[in-house]
């Protein structure tokens, strides 16, 4: 099974980008294609192919794929075009069975151990989140975003609106699959961190599993990603995940270049590996005020942007897709 992720990214990569690359390297059966203007010297592994361009060049490239003017004014607007990558970048992905989009504010675990072979055979769409989604690479699936559904603005309206995209994006596309009856594989074991909490709190959990969120750390070990947590009797338990998503969370890197293929992930830093003990889990489970998150949100300029965002995305919020599930 040949799989590729497409990642346009403009601006400086996160400070832990070398760790992201390392986690890609340990998945040699997966390829990544990056379009970026960050020409910093990184040790790109063979399965990560980088194409240097500036944002204006990408604007011109994507505009050339349409015979009407589009709204692509800033790098964040690329999110509205993610669902069209299968067609926009068709020349880059001809040899692949699946293509996808992903973020780089995450660390990968082991694809082979986390997604079984039958999933690729039985599902045309794997996952339902913007930080990682795969699509079967065929003409019908690649064009599903262009379908006209009753009561839904067309994709043309979506990418030409001066208000900005408001439905058919990485989240809204799930509604299309659901409406036409194409099942989505939802049971991808990812660790999506809550943005408002200093401590690691995972989203998309059923209430009966919330105790796992109280005291937890993660360990990346030679390509595999594990969460260690305390159960209700305060015994140490371990779960494996496909990736951990930091959701733009600031992370400090307290690692040397040579970290022996194993490191510890705690709020909010990467550390040399330590033995996982009850005391260590209790230490990093202590609640703290998340100043780096809340202080910028007290500024008037942020509040104005937030109100504008909610207004322009009101339709998308009303129609969004979020399965009731536990990982």
Stretch 310-327: mean pLDDT? 52
Residues 5, 237: Cα–Cα separation, whole Å: 32
Q: What is the residue-averaged pLDDT of the chain?
A: 90
Side-chain half-sphere CA neighbours of 21 within 13 A: 18
The SS3 of residue 159 is helix
Residue tagged 């997604």 (tokens): 115
Using alpha carbons, select from 126, 124, 141, 165 the residue that is nearest to residue 85. 141
What is the model's pLDDT at position 286? 82
> What does the pLDDT look like over 231-286, one tens digit per residue?
999 999 999 999 999 988 999 999 976 667 899 999 999 999 999 999 999 999 98
What is the model's pLDDT at position 318? 47
Residues 64, 16: Cα–Cα separation, whole Å: 34
* Element containing residue 160 per DSSP (H, E): helix 155-160
What is the model's pLDDT at position 327? 40
Using alpha carbons, select from 242, 248, 194 the residue that is nearest to residue 216. 194
Residue tagged 């001066």 (tokens): 162
Angle formed at CA 229 by CA 225 and CA 231, multiple of 5 degrees: 140
Cβ-based burial of 162 (10 A; exposed 0-12, middle 13-18, buried ≥19): exposed
Residues 76, 11: Cα–Cα separation, whole Å: 11
> What does the pLDDT look like over 98-123, one tens digit per residue?
999 999 999 999 999 999 999 999 99
The domain locations on the chain are 3-188, 190-288, 292-320
In this model, does residue 69 exceed pLDDT 90?
Answer: yes
Q: Determine the distance from the C-alpha atom of residue 214 to the mean position of all C-alpha atoms in its chain, rounded to a whole number.
A: 23
> What does the pLDDT look like over 133-145, one tens digit per residue?
999 999 999 999 9
Angle formed at CA 296 by CA 295 and CA 298, multiple of 5 degrees: 70
Residues 286, 215: Cα–Cα separation, whole Å: 8
What is the DSSP-derived secondary structure letter of residue 14?
Answer: P
Residues 181, 197: Cα–Cα separation, whole Å: 36
Side-chain half-sphere CA neighbours of 250 within 13 A: 6
Tokens coding 156? 């043309």
Alpha helices in 164-259 (DSSP H): 173-180
CB within 8 A of 281, min separation 6: which ones? Answer: 215, 216, 217, 228, 229, 230, 236
Torsions phi, psi for 98 (to 5 deg)? -135, 145
Of 318 and 67, the structure prediction assigns the larger pLDDT to 67
CA distances from 164 to 5, 173, 307 (A): 25, 16, 14
CB within 8 A of 254, min separation 6: which ones? Answer: 269, 270, 271, 272
| CATH fold for the domain made of 3-188 | Spore Coat Polysaccharide Biosynthesis Protein SpsA; Chain A (3.90.550)
> What does the pLDDT look like over 13-34, one tens digit per residue?
999 999 999 999 999 999 999 9
């Amino acid at each position: 099974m040949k799989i590729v992720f497409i990642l346009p990214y403009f601006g400086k990569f996160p400070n832990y980008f070398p760790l992201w690359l390392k986690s890609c390297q340990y998945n040699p059966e997966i390829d990544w294609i990056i379009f970026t203007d960050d020409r910093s010297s990184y040790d790109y592994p063979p399965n990560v192919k980088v194409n240097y361009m500036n944002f204006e060049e990408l604007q011109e490239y994507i505009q050339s794929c349409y015979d009407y003017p589009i709204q692509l004014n800033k790098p964040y607007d690329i999110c509205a075009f993610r669902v069209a990558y299968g067609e926009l970048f068709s020349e880059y992905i001809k040899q692949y069975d699946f293509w996808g989009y992903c973020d780089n504010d995450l660390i990968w675990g082991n694809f082979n151990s986390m997604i079984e072979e039958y999933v690729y055979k039985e599902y045309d769409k794997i996952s339902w989140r913007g930080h990682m989604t795969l699509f079967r690479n065929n003409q019908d699936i690649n064009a599903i975003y262009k379908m006209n559904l009753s009561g839904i603005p067309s994709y043309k309206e979506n990418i030409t609106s001066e208000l900005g995209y408001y439905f058919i994006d990485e989240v809204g596309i799930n509604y299309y699959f659901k409406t036409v009856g194409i099942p989505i594989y939802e049971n991808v074991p990812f660790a999506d961190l809550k943005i408002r909490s200093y401590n690691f709190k995972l989203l998309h959990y059923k209430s009966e599993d919330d105790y796992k969120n109280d005291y937890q750390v993660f360990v990346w070990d030679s390509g595999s990603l594990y969460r260690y947590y305390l159960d209700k009797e305060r015994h140490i338990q371990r779960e494996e995940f496909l990736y951990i998503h930091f959701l733009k969370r600031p992370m400090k890197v307290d690692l040397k270049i040579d970290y022996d293929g194993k490191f510890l992930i705690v709020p909010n830093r990467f550390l040399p590996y330590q033995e996982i003990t009850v005391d260590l889990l209790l230490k990093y489970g202590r609640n703290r005020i998340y100043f780096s998150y809340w202080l910028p949100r007290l500024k008037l300029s942020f509040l104005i942007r937030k109100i504008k965002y909610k207004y322009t995305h009101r339709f998308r919020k009303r129609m969004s897709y979020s399965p009731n599930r536990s990982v």
